[in-house]
Structure formats: C-alpha cells, structure tokens
Amino acid sequence: MRTAPTILHLDMDAFFASVEQASKPSLRGKAVVVGGLGPRGVVATCSYEARVFGVHSAMPMGQARRLAPHAAYLVPRFELYRSISEQVMRLLRELSPLVEPLSLDEAFVDLDAGGAARDAESARVAGAKLRTDIRTVTGLTGSVGLAASKMLAKIASEAAKPDGLVLIPPGTERAMLEPMTVRTLPGVGPATGDHLRRAGITTVGEIAEAGEDELVRLLGKAHGHALYAMALARDERPVVAERETKSVSVEDTYDVDIHDRVRVGVEVGRLADRCVRRLRASGLSGRTIVLKVRRYDFSTLTRSETLRGPTDDPAVVREAAARLLDAVDTTGGVRLLGVGVSGLADYTQEDLFAQAAGDRAEEPAEEPGTEPAEEHTPTPAERRWPSGHDVRHTELGHGWVQGSGLGRVTVRFETPYSEVGRVRTFPVDDPELTPADPLPLVAGTEGGEGGESGQPSSLPLPASLPKSWSGGGGAAETSRP
C-alpha cells in the first residue's frame, strides 16, 4: 500500500436529485425523489431533505410516497445527468490520466500518476481545488475522500458527505477502521453482516481479532481471505483508467403487465432503437443481440443470437430482437422487457441485412396491376408529459412539468437562473406547449442562458454533517448517496 494519501475518491452528493434542485429554483431546499413513478417504480436517488423522512435509494416508490407524501416526485432525465457527468469526468482527467469511473457520479483518481499530489498536504490541496472547480462548472457539490488505497478513499468520501473532504493520514488506518461496523467494508452486505453478527463479530476490529482461519471457516476461502485483508487496511488494487464495456442494454418495467402480443413486439422494437442509439453514442458495435423478458410470475427469460459480424444498424438489431421474441411465450403477460448488445467492437461489419434476416431468399416482386392495401392511419397517441421534464411555451418560455393527468398538464415556468416561477395548467394537446432540451445548470456554459444579470443564482449548500470518525463512525448507509 502507498505511503501517501494520493488516491482520491469523488462521489457527487445525491447526484440526480441535486441536478433537479439546481435546475428548478422552487425545489431548492425541498424533499426531492427521482425514479420510476409507476406502481412498480423504485427510487433512483433522493435529496438529503427527503432522507430525513426515511426515503432511500432502491426503495419502492409507493413506500417513499407514504413516508414523504409532500416531496416532489420526478422522472429521471438521464441525458442531462450524463452531460453533467462528462463535465465532472473532464475535471478529473485534468488531474490525472488514471481516472476509474464507477458510475455517472463516482470515480477514483490516482493523483500521483498525474503529478497532482505527492504527499498529504498536496493531496488535500488537489482535493479542495477539485471541489471548487466542480461547483464552478456544474453548480453542484461533491464529496472527496483521500487515502493510500481505493477502499479507504471510498470510506473517507462516505464520511465526508455531504459536500466535504476527508483525508486519512497514512499510519492511522487500522485505528480508524477498528470501531466501524462490518458493513463499512466492501462486499459485506446484509446477508454477510448477519452471518458475522451471529458469530459475535460486529466491528472491523473484531474481524481482525477473529483471525483469517475463522473467517475462512465462516465465509469460505475467497471471501474470508479478502475480508481479513480489508480489516487490516490492506488494499493493493490499482486505479484502472479504462474499464472495458462488455455490453450495452436498455430495459423498461411496465406499470401494468402487457398482454397484447403486438404491443410487446412494438416495445421490443422501440427498445432495440434505444439500445442502438446508446451503442452509437459510445462509438461501438456488437455481434450478439440479447432479449430479456420478465413475465407476470417474475420468471425471467433471456435469449440471444450472434451475428457473423458486429453491427450498429437499428434495422439489424430490431429484426434479430423480433426473431428472439418469436421463441418466447408471453402468455399471461409481460412486466419487463430489455434489449442488449454484447460482443462489442469499435468497428461495424457492413452488409448485415442478409444475415439479420437469416439469409432468407429475396421476396418476390409485387405483381403488376396489384392495388396496394389501404394504409391504416393510427389515431395519434396523447402526448406524454413526464414529471420534471423540460417544456417550452411560445409565450411563457422555459418551464418544467409538475404533473399531468385527466387531459391536463401543469407547468412551472422557471430556469436554473431565475427566481421561483409561476404555475400554469394547459390541455395536454396545447399546440403552444412543446418538449424542450434541459438548460445548463450554470449560465454561460454550453450555450446556457442566465437571469437578468447573466449570472447563475447561488445554490444553497446542503446542511453539513460531522466530518469526524467519532461516535458511530462508519455505519455505511446502504443507499447511494
């Protein structure tokens, strides 16, 4: 392990919810919950104000609504979150070429590899500057942990939340870890934690006292060895700059089971198109098309087909997914569908239409004089207005959807740089109201617009939490901060 705390772990604070609060002045300082809003939806993340009521990530949305009925419940805007994540990751890469992203809002950085830090003091300076730069560029806050290993840096960033910085000085690791609960260590979930508790082991110090042989007896060879090493603060894992993407996929869970086979096919085609858009955005193609179907009884089926070469053609992926669906029994209803592409490559094999169609013979040409069948024009579907998403009105300007239903949509007209805006209600098919792209959170960035002064309004910081290791020290929350 290193002799200096030059591994940095950044974790953005309540990322999705913080983005929503920063973009909506009326929600700042309020309880905000982001996730699927249907009966089967779950919480993706929530603001610190919502956590006061017991709401946390991965909680069923129905339970969250019971705990915090007055919170704002919003549908995620993943494209906006990705764009802000890219801004943050660029700042990290200015510090070092060794950046290991773990998710949109979390990454490790090897400060020593980029010459950004050599000792504790320079590491602290680099971490403080990073937090300032993130606030300047995105308007958001992030928590930073600095330590001599990845495990300890992550533990430090947890202790720093929200909007703080914690550095673990080399030589103090064992003393810091000993009073912490076993759940603090990576890989110790509820089941392992209960197993250790039944054996009388509740703290990291008690794991070290139990000894390696006892841990192997309790947990098995691999897990026992790894847990003992972590309890002794041993972690030699390097920061890895690029993590190979193994697959690209999308899936949807439906509020009501889909029984109509035609509708299932339409949904699979739509998911295939979304999957290809994500594939192309990453500059990738793939050979293996995967279909995932979760049926009404929660049984999950996965089917796959491997093409002769990689493709990023939506028609090819749609046809392959449709063939896979033909082999799946959807009688009784479908609650989840997913389409993925694996066997990824950074090039595309041309001319895959024949192989996607199973090298089928050419279809005969239409006979002369045959009248084409009359096309059926479907009735336009009612426009959907997801809660929290951006809209624009020809007269009132930019706003966001507070809610919709019964043929009406309620919009609050405000921007990240304005005061709290007014609320208006319209028919869902009002021609003057259209979906809009999100605005940048900070005025003047990427074409953003500001208030009257051209400057972004200041965003309130979340209430601070203690930045010490005392007390319950380290009882990690199971939800994503």
Question: Which residues are known to be catalytic?
Answer: 106
The pairing of strands 397-405 and 43-46 is unpaired
Q: Which is it for strands 390-393 and 300-311: parallel, antiparallel or unpaired? A: unpaired
Closest CA to 42 of 20, 30, 60: 60
Specify the amino acid at residue 75: V
Question: Measured between alpha carbons, how far is 195 from 115 in angstroms, rounded to an integer?
Answer: 43
Backbone torsions φ then ψ of 216, nearest 5 degrees: -65, -40
378 contacts 288 by C-beta, under 8 angstroms: no
CB 387 within 8 A of CB 398: no
List, in order, residues 6 or more apart from 239 with CB less than 8 Å away: 7, 98, 99, 100, 108, 109, 110, 113, 150
**Long-range pairs, 202-208, Cβ under 8 A, ≥24:** 203/178, 203/179, 204/177, 204/178, 204/179, 204/180, 204/230, 204/231, 204/474, 205/177, 205/178, 205/179, 205/231, 206/182, 207/182, 207/231, 208/174, 208/178, 208/232
* 174 vs 228: CA distance, rounded Å: 12
Q: What is the H or E stretch that residue 319 is in?
A: helix 314-326
CA atoms within 13 A on the CB side of 104: 18
Instruction: Extract the tokens encoding 363.
Output: 């279809």
Q: In this structure, what token pair is assigned to residue 144?
A: 């930073």
Beta-bridged to residue 106, according to DSSP, are 11, 103
